[in-house]
């Protein structure tokens, strides 16, 4: 199943840019043991991609089906490689270490020198394969199932990791056969959503919090930051894993324009265009000296930048520097497609951002529709200096394969 031209900008903008601290150097898909991050790291919106100090992990579909490969982008060499060390491997079947079911790919992260992969249930030749958490060495070797979710459960939305633990939003799914009886489909809602804590050293897990109507929106030091929709209001709270206690912070009007960064919750209220900062520890509220050209639909925090996205017929992205409160219009757009859509920021490496700068496009004739249809055959990655990103200068350092 080839990826059609559906660019999920809201999810892409919410990808993590926080890098684990004190990690070891990696090259050619092989990495040294790294230290556990001092603080919890938030990974958002069900993404199968993760950036850390020296590189970027992603899954990509290279085949006519629901399987693909784990890939690694090494920032130093600017190379994208298969997470496989087998000589002469074609990377096209399950004899390859990097070969995975991308249909169920849910998230990747690195902790204490190990690569972890979350996979949701998927169908393999009509048989349902249970969801689970896999662990391997950073080069993809020695992969094994660390924890398997109970039947009917699924990884949902965001997760947080660090200090040897995974805290994930999971929910109950219901399975039913597809129309031709060749596989299983799954559906679910937030009614069974809960917070699952998994010990990464031994795979032991327990449900620690009911997340009905709640979302993980970030992390601050050793705490999870949650939002809850209740009675037309959005309630923020802080969950401390060690004591398993949840403390209210503040409540505001219901809005989707919310992000967390450096001890603050940033938001824009409906119908307004002023950025507001809420201090997580003190509860102090202050307005930034920035008036946006429009009310943004979504926010994301990136290395001192608050990215504000408004999507109403066309896409506009502004970057606000949290320290100086300077606003920038991001004037960089994806190559390879006709739509005028800004580049997608994926990760941070020192003074550089890793971005998707464009797409490789192909087309095929669809017999049943009688038309030729375009599809995305691959993503083009590049590094760009943060200052060039803010200035809208396409001074890209291309990632090659």
Q: pLDDT > 90: what percent of the chain?
A: 50
Averaged over 255-281, what is the pLDDT?
94
Backbone angles phi, psi at 279, to 5 degrees: -70, 125
Q: What is the mean pLDDT of the chain?
A: 81
Predicted confidence (pLDDT) at residue 162 exceeds the cutoff of 50: yes
In which band, very low, low, confident or very high, does the pLDDT at 93 lie, cut at 50, 70 and 90? confident
Predicted confidence (pLDDT) at residue 207 exceeds the cutoff of 50: yes
Instruction: Please give the structure tokens belonging to residue 341.
Output: 């859509």
Predicted confidence (pLDDT) at residue 260 exceeds the cutoff of 50: yes
Q: Give 7-23 pLDDT, tens digit per residue.
A: 333 333 333 333 322 33
Predicted confidence (pLDDT) at residue 185 exceeds the cutoff of 80: no
Q: pLDDT > 70: what percent of the chain?
A: 80
Q: Give 35-71 pLDDT, tens digit per residue.
A: 334 589 998 764 556 777 889 998 887 655 678 889 9
pLDDT on residue 64: 57
Lowest-pLDDT range of 28-32, 285-289, 368-372: 28-32
Tell me the whole-structure pTM to 2 decimals: 0.82
């Amino acid at each position: 199943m080839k990826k059609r031209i559906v660019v999920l900008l809201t999810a892409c903008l919410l990808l993590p840019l926080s890098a684990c601290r004190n990690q070891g150097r990696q090259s050619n898909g092989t990495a040294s043991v790294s230290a556990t991050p001092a603080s919890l790291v938030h990974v958002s919106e069900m993404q199968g991609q993760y950036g850390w100090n020296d590189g970027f992990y992603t899954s990509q579909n290279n085949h006519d089906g629901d399987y693909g490969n784990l890939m690694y982008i090494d920032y130093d060499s600017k190379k994208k490689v298969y997470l496989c060390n087998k000589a002469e491997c074609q990377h096209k079947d399950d004899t390859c270490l990097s070969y995975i079911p991308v249909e169920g790919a849910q998230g990747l992260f690195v902790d204490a020198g190990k690569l972890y992969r979350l996979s949701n249930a998927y169908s393999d030749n009509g048989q349902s394969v249970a969801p689970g958490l896999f662990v391997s060495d950073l080069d993809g070797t020695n992969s094994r199932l660390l924890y398997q979710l109970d039947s009917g459960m699924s990884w949902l939305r965001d997760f947080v990791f660090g200090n040897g633990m995974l805290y994930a939003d999971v929910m109950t799914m219901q399975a039913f056969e597809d129309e031709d009886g060749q596989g299983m489909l799954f559906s679910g809602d937030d009614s069974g959503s809960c917070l699952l804590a998994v010990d990464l050293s031994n795979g032991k897990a327990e449900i620690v919090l009911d997340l009905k109507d709640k979302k993980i929106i970030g992390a601050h030091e050793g705490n999870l930051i949650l939002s809850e929709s209740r009675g037309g209001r959005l309630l923020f709270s802080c969950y401390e894993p060690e004591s398993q206690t949840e403390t209210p912070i503040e409540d505001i009007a219901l809005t989707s324009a919310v992000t967390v960064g450096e001890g603050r919750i940033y938001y824009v209220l409906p119908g307004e265009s002023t950025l507001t900062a809420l201090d997580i520890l003190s509860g102090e509220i202050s307005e930034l000296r920035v008036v946006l050209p429009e009310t943004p639909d979504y926010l994301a925090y990136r290395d001192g930048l608050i990215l504000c996205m408004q999507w109403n017929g066309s896409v506009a992205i502004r970057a606000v520097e949290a320290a100086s409160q300077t606003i920038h219009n991001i004037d960089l757009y994806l190559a390879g497609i006709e739509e005028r859509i800004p580049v997608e920021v994926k990760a941070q490496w020192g003074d550089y951002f890793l971005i998707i700068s464009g797409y490789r496009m192909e087309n095929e004739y669809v017999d049943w529709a009688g038309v030729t249809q375009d599809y995305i055959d691959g993503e083009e990655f590049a590094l760009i200096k943060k200052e060039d990103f803010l200035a809208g200068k396409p001074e890209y350092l291309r990632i090659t394969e």
